[in-house]
Structure 1
């Protein structure tokens, strides 16, 4: 239990009606989650306005309500706090309620379009391998030292964020690595957290369904670096055209990493094979079990961040060679006949091109490349034809299929993907994703390569409002297993 006045410290308050000394047992921004004695936050959202649910929250026993405007009929015995920004107040007060746990951790945020999950996860794996306790907040999973918690969002809400960080600090964690999505930054979910450092990966076409313009998307990412404290580091990709833009106004210590130009941390790809690549990082050679130029950037960012956190560079380099790919990120599955499938989360034009180009550099002229990909429904529609153009450019055969159609018709999504393709281009349209994967496997010859892109680690497919079990890796293994079964004779 905390006194309301104590968790309000540092939060800009316009007016307070009621008793600031009341005890608050918990925080909630969903009226259905309110318990007796909680403080309810009426946050305006894109789908609903929390102010409409104040009566429901009070009916469930809310002792205090934080709102941007007072209800027409305030309830007796409830303390109302009027603020200019309820989402910001939620972040500030959540940090205070849990005792500002981020101050007890070396918290590093990773932002950008692609590479966030891999970079954050590899940093977590690295410091754990070096003997430190750490936490992880990623798209795939949340971890409190060795304990795993199912992830619901790339960056969870401020209440859950601070609650998990409190558990991390209490468990003796020294570090926490977290993905910071553009949605989370704009929605103030990372406000109130004290970062030891931030990493910028890259910026490409994505989330324009939410941000509307690329300029707004850039500004969302840049807000993260604008908010870093003076004692933190800002590690930016010097090879990305927006890398310097991200750190223009930051007061943090700026460092750069690059594969192509002068930078504080440099890397060169020496050799590439299907089971890994040899890198030269700051003059030292290291073999890593990850593939692709995009992973060279991710590993270099990991090395740079670890160095800026004060870890021994020699130990970091030795440990990099033992790290494994992140689930659903260039995950290789092999069939008995030598056919190779790569399952990857690539769901943006840039990510898809990176993966296809990497495979293209590895395959021989005799190997066919089949690319299975789609685009999600109710999301940025402008990238659909671009994704299709990239697939047919690099693949021997592209197979366009359903991703997470949500409330859109899979066939309508495929229409938009294929609208601008040259009629002479070779591709297939198979809306059923399982059937598309089976078809790619059936068309392949021993030794060919299949890319199944877009869903990666996801174990579901969203159709309408329903979340159905679906795992690309399971489907690939099932199709490979069917290949090895002897044909039945009549």
Structure 2
């Protein structure tokens, strides 16, 4: 890619041509795109991102010293000649974040034109839906890839994640690698932050799926209205045609469906309560999962879902709805769901305590915690215990609400740490307590999460159920900027071994 190709791809204007970087060319080769001046390499274009805590323009000179061939910025920057003797070309754009995404698409050859990309957004359910989609489409003989919270999975690879939705350059590089490995469908978790920061700009989505919208990330979005509007914009500002699969049992989902109708577009709706294009009737529930009858515009599908809980029927219905639209037969949809391997830490059943049930779940929002507690309540003949905490340096307002949810829906709770980050775990727990104490005093505070799990597992009796919530399949605990090796599943198994055969 040449400089002028880059400018065209991002709708930018080349200014301050400066001096060439050794080649004498006014149209140098662009060897990569980056927004991190620490890792910029010679010949790459550096994007001065704005809108965060730092201004990328402050690092343009550093990028120039590293050999950047171009600086993409929202305003011209006065740059001195670098030690290499060059002044990089500058490209002016209205929005560097969107430009970064468009540039990444172009640099990697627009891989989403070849890999059908499905974006799944919503507060809860994104990870589970992407895994169920992969299972169904693989059952139909398609090669698939998954990109999201638990990592990147495709072509026999498993790469750990940094963010729910990767940065644009890494995302497009991954899609390009999927294309090169023959992947036909990529299932991508799309976070609200990714929409806000234009990380997915330029992707011609094959389909967009909406799960639900409940409280989360208010530390960033400040109000539920702004958070919901961001989710809605993923559908209502869509620049490409494709399928829109929308949960209209959710208020935000109904707004999306109505908005699409005004635009002359059709949402394929799903739900368990309100009239919709796809719905399901639950026939049976157990700790191992649910059996249900799905109806897609009068096409029936009997399915066994390997995940417990009504909310996972919603997740399965979302995945199955897109599969139906893609022309996959009901029997193949059913086979895919039945044989799906759910992601770690999504209402994951841990066996080993005679007569009792233990589940590990990622539920980290008030709504998610309530749904998970309600999901396991039917299997409880004794007491329902809940062990959870809240993340540090994140939305403070949801902490007392999660305490309230646990107090109302569990018989007893263990309040502990999640990822405290730079906060004192005891301060976080006190915030949870503020909501909990309004409805119950049946709880104990154990800040050390491992000790809390050992304590909770040791006290289980026949008929009891323990939900360990918040971290799911995470393999670390973040404390004061350090990610320590830790995961709930391993600790729980240690605790079960430690208690021995106590029933």
TM-score range, shorter chain: over 0.9
Corresponding residue number in structure 1 for 2:48: 42
After TM superposition, give the deviation of residue 286 of structure 1 in Å.
2.0
Is residue 285 of structure 1 aligned with residue 302 of structure 2? yes
After TM superposition, give the deviation of residue 146 of structure 1 in Å.
2.5
1:367-412 C-alpha deviation (Å, 9 max, x unpaired): 2221101111111111111111111222221110111111111111
- Whether the 8 Å CA contact 1:399–1:427 is kept in 2: the answer is yes
Query: Runs ≥4 in structure 1, deviation > 4 angstroms?
Result: none
Corresponding residue number in structure 1 for 2:370: 353
Corresponding residue number in structure 1 for 2:412: 397
Corresponding residue number in structure 1 for 2:21: none
- Whether the 8 Å CA contact 1:197–1:228 is kept in 2: the answer is no
Query: Counterparts of 1:445 and 1:36 in 2: how far apart (Å)?
Result: 63
Is residue 429 of structure 1 aligned with residue 445 of structure 2? yes
- Whether the 8 Å CA contact 1:276–1:289 is kept in 2: the answer is yes
Corresponding residue number in structure 2 for 1:110: 120
After TM superposition, give the deviation of residue 423 of structure 1 in Å.
7.8
Between the two proteins, the alignment pairs up a number of residues equal to 483
Query: Counterparts of 1:287 and 1:89 in 2: how far apart (Å)?
Result: 44
- Whether the 8 Å CA contact 2:7–2:91 is kept in 1: the answer is no
**2:267 paired residue among 254, 263, 271:** 254
Is residue 315 of structure 1 aligned with residue 356 of structure 2? no
Is residue 475 of structure 1 aligned with residue 491 of structure 2? yes
1:222-242 C-alpha deviation (Å, 9 max, x unpaired): 111023345301110011111
**1:148 paired residue among 139, 158, 164:** 158
SS in 1 for 2:38: helix
Corresponding residue number in structure 2 for 1:59: 65
Query: Counterparts of 1:68 and 1:16 in 2: how far apart (Å)?
Result: 11
Query: Counterparts of 2:360 and 2:79 in 1: how far apart (Å)?
Result: 55
**2:245 paired residue among 220, 225, 235:** 235
Corresponding residue number in structure 2 for 1:263: 276
Query: Counterparts of 1:102 and 1:253 in 2: how far apart (Å)?
Result: 22
Corresponding residue number in structure 1 for 2:473: 457
Query: Counterparts of 2:182 and 2:127 in 1: how far apart (Å)?
Result: 23
Against the structure 1 CA distance between its residues 88 and 20, is the aligned structure 2 distance closer, same or farther, given a 3 Å change threshold? Answer: farther
After TM superposition, give the deviation of residue 124 of structure 1 in Å.
1.4
Query: Counterparts of 1:485 and 1:257 in 2: how far apart (Å)?
Result: 45
SS in 2 for 1:92: helix
**2:423 paired residue among 381, 402, 408:** 408
- Whether the 8 Å CA contact 1:232–1:253 is kept in 2: the answer is no
Greater mean alpha carbon deviation, residues 88-97 or residues 239-248: 239-248
After TM superposition, give the deviation of residue 434 of structure 1 in Å.
0.7
Corresponding residue number in structure 2 for 1:274: 287
1:433-448 alignment runs, 5 A limit:
433-448=449-464
- Whether the 8 Å CA contact 2:138–2:336 is kept in 1: the answer is no
SS in 2 for 1:27: strand
Corresponding residue number in structure 2 for 1:157: 167
Corresponding residue number in structure 2 for 1:378: 393
Greater mean alpha carbon deviation, residues 95-104 or residues 129-138: 129-138
- Whether the 8 Å CA contact 1:378–1:406 is kept in 2: the answer is yes
After TM superposition, give the deviation of residue 273 of structure 1 in Å.
1.2
Corresponding residue number in structure 2 for 1:175: 185
- Whether the 8 Å CA contact 2:364–2:469 is kept in 1: the answer is yes
- Whether the 8 Å CA contact 1:139–1:151 is kept in 2: the answer is yes
Q: TM-score, normalised by structure 1?
A: 0.95
Greater mean alpha carbon deviation, residues 204-213 or residues 243-252: 243-252
1:196-229 C-alpha deviation (Å, 9 max, x unpaired): 1100000001000010111110111111102334
Query: Counterparts of 1:178 and 1:425 in 2: how far apart (Å)?
Result: 42
1:397-438 C-alpha deviation (Å, 9 max, x unpaired): 111011111111111111111124148521101111111111
Query: Counterparts of 1:476 and 1:130 in 2: how far apart (Å)?
Result: 36
- Whether the 8 Å CA contact 1:196–1:231 is kept in 2: the answer is yes
RMSD over equivalenced CA pairs, Å: 1.6
- Whether the 8 Å CA contact 1:158–1:190 is kept in 2: the answer is yes
